[in-house]
Every structure is written in structure tokens, then in C-alpha cells.
Amino acid sequence: MFTTLQDRLTATFKGLRGKGRLSEADIDATAREIRVALLEADVALPVVREFIAAVRERARGAEVSQALNPAQQIIKIVNEELVTILGGETRRVRFAKNPPTVIMLAGLQGAGKTTLAGKLALWLKGQGHAPLLVAADLQRPNAVTQLQVVGERAGTPVFAPEPGNGVGDPVRVARQAMDFARDKQHDVVVVDTAGRLGIDAELMQQAADIRDAVQPDEILFVVDAMIGQDAVVTAEAFLEGVGFTGVVLTKLDGDARGGAALSVAKVTGRQVMFASNGEKLTDFDVFHPDRMASRILDMGDVLTLIEQAERTFDAQQQEEIARKFSTGEDFTLEDFMSQMQQLRKMGSMSKIFGMLPGMGQFREQIENIDERELDRTQAMISSMTPAERRDPKILNGSRRSRIARGSGTSVSAVNDLVERFGQAQQMMRTMRSGGAIPGMPGFGKKSKGKQAPQQKKGKGGRSSGNPAKRALEAQQAPARTPAAGSPFGPAAGGGAGAGGFELPAELRDLLPPGSR
């Protein structure tokens, strides 16, 4: 969503690095570049003017002139001002003192209200609530049926006494839903209302009538983040005609310029409360202005990544992995497959990578990630017996051939998996003993005394035929460059030296060849 804005801001700040002092010309040039970047992102002009004025004023103040690193101070100022125009602090749902809490959804047709109702219901269930969905959109063809399908996927009951398709009174349905919710002890009611292709008096009056009938605690204006400046115009019209207490941005995973997200909160005075960034019901979360600003500036969103991991990863399995690590037990292929399956529950690899700091420079490679690589790895591990997963050393030629046939891969792919997994096991043993990890400078304790002797290259680079000597050579040999196509490939962008960030070993080889 913010690709263009992120690239422009990154290029602007790159020109400031290395300067010990910023002149008036530097500040003016930076402000001009930021202004162009915001306008290109389709941010509303009044918001851009206010933002640039605040940045320019603060950049000329003492907080920059007296800073040890003026360039970093400018970035800090831009980050804080972005947080301000995005709404400041995170806005939470206000629940009624006497249930049920009523949340009414309003917006134009096509903004994604019905799907959002299911996402919101699933999120509320995860917060310990018992939501009820109300089908008050009786005009759009099959809107009631769609809400019933979405409700079933979310595991939430749907109140739909009318078939819709132009039949029924949505105000009466909303009133009946309140009695039904109290009778069935639902503590949250989510009312899905009808939308239109454009703003009109009929839409506003119907939404206002439903509002007066149910007295909602929250009215959420659902806006498609891809419609740019029109989002602000529509939001202002709804604010005047119906009123709303918060905003929900949908389709944040699209390729639009994202100006709506940076404009709606500032123009309307109503904060963005939720963001929808995908088609799955789980692609939905609370909108955090500080985290969104961090993403725009390519500083990642590690907190959201951690929260997703906490929701996804099984605590008991994580405790078992930690116990194995502390007691010296080896990490097995069963453990690896379990971790990989839980990782995939968090979403696509491109989305996970996008939350890591500094990944903007690898955007093209991340977008070309082959998600099927994990499928192939999982297929190979699934084709192994439990004994083979626990101890890959027993995998002889015939076993590897059987695994390749069972997983639809090649023997060389199985060999690569086993070899890289052995290296990963060795790395974990080294970490456990406090040793340094190859390719990760400064990690672990530095060994004292004599350095290990370097391996002498034999004829043709071949290893010894003596098994004991070959094992000793393998221990003394430097870490080899992992082969392409394995789940334990090299770091993106050339290791820790690229931007100072080292990708997790399980994820590195997902980047396409040539970008590693």
C-alpha cells in the first residue's frame, strides 16, 4: 500500500546521512521532497500542508541543531508527525456498561463491509466476546447469504429473518436483533447495513434510521483504502449525514498509494480503529498509528509480528523446544516441521518479511518469494518415518530415493535438506555452548587461546576416505555456502552486512535466486 511513499522517503533520508550539520537549504530540500512524496501518495493537500509546516518548524529548532546525528533526528521528527496525522494513540472499542454493545457498520457499496463484519466477529471472539451478526443489508443481491456464509466461517451466529434482495425492512430487522441478542445473551451486536455506489439521501436516511433504532455504541465507517481522495470526501459526507465514531480501512494489501489512511483521521477527527489487509478472516487487526508510521519509514513492525506469533505458536511446543535447547537435546526434523507449520499460520512469507526492519530494499525479491518451497520441504519431511525424522543419519541411499518419490522431489533435494539441517543442528549446538556463529559477527562469546587450524586443501578439494578423519575435517571446515532451493539457505542481500540485518535461517532460502 505505501510502497511509493516508503521508497521516496527512504531516498530522501539517504541523502541526509553522513551530514554532521544541516543547513537551511538541506531542511528546505528535505521538506520539499517529503511534500512531493505525500502528494504522490494521494494524501489530502490540507494534511500535507500541516504536516510539512510542523516538520519544517521542528527541523529548524534546537532539537536538530544540537543533535549528535541531525539526519536521525529528522527521521524521528517525521515519524512522530506521521503518528500524529494517523491519529496519535491507538483507539480501542468502547464497550457498553450494560450489554449488548452495538457496533454499526456504514459505508459505500464495495468497501468490504460484509466481509469485515465476519473479520470483526472473529476478532471479538478471540477477545472473549460472544458476537451476533445482523443482516440489515436487504437491498444488495445475496448480501444476506454472503453474511451467513461469512458468519459460518467465523463461527458466529447470524440474525437474518428477511431474505433480502430488496425484500424486508432493515430498521425492523435491527430492532428485532436487539431483542434476540438479549435473549440469547450475545454481548456484542454487529449490524451490517446497506451501501450504495455513491452518496445519496436515501442511503443516509436509512443509515440514520437504523442508528436511531439501535442506538449503537460505535458507528464504524468502512472505507476502501484504494479509492484515494474520494475516501476523504465520502468520509466527510457520512460524518455530516449519519455520524461515525471510528474508521476501518479495508484493502490495505492493495497496490494503491495509501493516501486515505494518512488523510481520513486528520480531516474527520475520527481515528482509524481497525485495518483489513487481506482476504482471509484473520487478515484483520487493531490499527496502531505508531506501528503504521514505522512501516511507512521502513522500520518494520516487529511488535505486530510478535503479537501474531504469540497468537499462532503453541506455547507448549515452544516450551518443549526451549527445554531441548537448554538440556542439550538435538533439534529434530519433527521439531522443524512443527515450527514451519506454525510459521505458515501467521500468513504468507512476503507479509512476514514485510514486517521486518529494512526490508524495503529487498521488496522485489520478497514479492517473488516462492511459497511452494515450504510445501516441498514439508512434503519431504512428511515422507520420512518418525525414526528418520528424529535421526536423519540413518537416511541411506534407498531411503532417500523413497522419500524423493513420496514427496515428488529429487534425491538431490532430499540430500540438500538433510545437509542443511545438519548444519542447522551444528549451529544450535554452537549457540548452546556460547560459541560464535559463522556469518553473524559479534554473536556469541569469543574463544580465547589458539585459533583452530585451517583445513588444508587436498588434491581436487576431495575429503579423506578415512571416516574418522573426514569427520574431523568437517568439524574444522568453514561453513559452506548453502545451496539454492534449501530451507536453510543464505541470508537475504548477502548476510548481516546488508543493512545490518540477518534473516532467520528457516526463511533465507525462500528469496529467489540472485537475491540471496
Q: How far apart are CA 298 and CA 36, in angstroms?
A: 18
Q: Cis (ω within 30 of 0) for the bond into 513?
A: no
- Beta carbons of 103 and 189 less than 8 angstroms apart: yes
* Other CB atoms within 10 Å distance of the CB of residue 46: 12
Of the candidates 147, 141, 115, 120, the residue with the CA atom closest to the CA atom of residue 131:
120
What pLDDT, on the 0 to 100 scale, is given for residue 174? 93
What pLDDT, on the 0 to 100 scale, is given for residue 367? 66
384 confidence band (pLDDT: 50, 70, 90): very high
Q: Is the pLDDT of residue 465 over 90?
A: no
Tell me, letter by letter, the H, E, C secondary structure of 65-117: HCCCCHHHHHHHHHHHHHHHHCCCCCCCCCCCCCCCEEEEEECCCCCCHHHHH
Known binding-site residue numbers: 107-114, 192-196, 250-253
Q: How far apart are CA 147 and CA 112, in angstroms?
A: 11
What pLDDT, on the 0 to 100 scale, is given for residue 419? 87
| 3 state DSSP class of 198 | coil
122 confidence band (pLDDT: 50, 70, 90): very high
What would the DSSP string read from start to end of 427-451?
HHHHHHTTPPPTT-TT-SPPPPSSP
Q: What is the mean pLDDT of residues 410-426?
A: 86
Weakest-pLDDT range from 135-139, 203-207, 309-313, 487-491: 487-491
- Render pLDDT for 224-271 as a digit per residue (tens, 0 to 9): 877 766 777 778 888 888 889 999 988 876 655 667 667 888 888 888
Residue indicated by cell numbers 494518512? 262
Q: Is the pLDDT of residue 191 over 50?
A: yes
Contacts of 6 (CB under 8 A, 6+ apart): 295, 296, 297, 298, 360
Compute the half-sphere exposure of residue 73: CA atoms within 13 Å on the CB side of its CA: 20
Of the candidates 514, 512, 509, 515, the residue with the CA atom closest to the CA atom of residue 413:
509
Q: Is the pLDDT of residue 148 over 90?
A: yes
What pLDDT, on the 0 to 100 scale, is given for residue 101? 94
Contacts of 495 (CB under 8 A, 6+ apart): 439, 502
- How far CA 430 is from CA of 33, 326, 444, in Å, comes to 48, 12, 9
Q: Is the pLDDT of residue 371 over 80?
A: no
Q: Is the pLDDT of residue 447 over 50?
A: no
For the chain, report the end-to-end CA distance as a whole number of angstroms.
Answer: 25
- Beta carbons of 100 and 189 less than 8 angstroms apart: yes
Q: What is the mean pLDDT of residues 108-123?
A: 89
Q: Which CATH number fits domain 307-438+482-508: 3.30.750.24, 3.30.300.30, 1.10.260.30, 1.10.630.10?
A: 1.10.260.30
Q: How far apart are CA 216 and CA 185, in angstroms?
A: 17
Of the candidates 131, 112, 113, the residue with the CA atom closest to the CA atom of residue 121:
131
Q: What is the mean pLDDT of residues 470-491?
A: 41
Cell (9 digits) for 276: 483489513
What pLDDT, on the 0 to 100 scale, is given for residue 45? 84
Of the candidates 149, 147, 122, 144, the residue with the CA atom closest to the CA atom of residue 274:
122
pTM of the predicted protein model: 0.65
Give the residue with greater pLDDT, 70 vs 280: 280
User: What's the CA dihedral at 503, 509, 512, 515 to 10 degrees?
Assistant: 50
Q: What is the mean pLDDT of residues 415-423?
A: 86
Contacts of 343 (CB under 8 A, 6+ apart): 312, 352, 506
Cell (9 digits) for 478: 568453514
- Beta carbons of 136 and 193 less than 8 angstroms apart: yes
- Render pLDDT for 320-356 as a digit per residue (tens, 0 to 9): 767 766 776 777 888 888 877 777 777 677 777 766 7
What pLDDT, on the 0 to 100 scale, is given for residue 2? 66
Buried b / exposed e over 12-28, threshold 16 CB at 10 Å, is: bbeebeeeeebeeebbe
450 confidence band (pLDDT: 50, 70, 90): very low
Weakest-pLDDT range from 125-129, 299-303, 490-494: 490-494
DSSP 8-state code for residue 360: G
Q: How far apart are CA 34 and CA 18, in angstroms?
A: 19
220 confidence band (pLDDT: 50, 70, 90): very high
DSSP 8-state code for residue 274: E
- Render pLDDT for 45-57 as a digit per residue (tens, 0 to 9): 888 898 899 888 8
Query: Could you tell me where the beta strands, DSSP code E, fall in 361-413?
Result: none
Q: How many residues does the chain have?
A: 516
Q: How far apart are CA 6 and CA 37, in angstroms?
A: 9
404 confidence band (pLDDT: 50, 70, 90): very high
- To 10 degrees, what angle do helices 397-407 and 372-382 make? 130
Known binding-site residue numbers for GTP: 107-114, 192-196, 250-253
Q: What is the mean pLDDT of residues 428-452?
A: 50
Q: What is the mean pLDDT of residues 462-485?
A: 46
What pLDDT, on the 0 to 100 scale, is given for residue 300? 62
Q: What is the mean pLDDT of residues 73-101?
A: 87
Fold of 3-85: Four Helix Bundle (Hemerythrin (Met), subunit A) (1.20.120)
Q: How far apart are CA 327 and CA 274, in angstroms?
A: 43
Question: Which range, 211-215, 289-293, 304-308, has the best average confidence (pLDDT)?
Answer: 211-215
DSSP 8-state code for residue 164: B
Average pLDDT, the chain: 76
Weakest-pLDDT range from 67-81, 351-365, 381-395: 351-365
DSSP 8-state code for residue 330: P
Q: Is the pLDDT of residue 479 over 50?
A: no
Q: Which CATH number fits domain 101-299: 3.40.50.300, 3.50.50.60, 3.40.50.2300, 3.40.640.10?
A: 3.40.50.300
Domain ranges of the chain: 3-85, 101-299, 307-438+482-508
Q: How far apart are CA 456 and CA 381, in angstroms?
A: 35
Of the candidates 119, 168, 121, the residue with the CA atom closest to the CA atom of residue 143:
168
Residue indicated by cell numbers 520441504? 377
- Render pLDDT for 164-178 as a digit per residue (tens, 0 to 9): 888 889 999 999 999
DSSP 8-state code for residue 315: H
267, amino acid identity: V
What pLDDT, on the 0 to 100 scale, is given for residue 1? 53
Q: Is the pLDDT of residue 478 over 80?
A: no
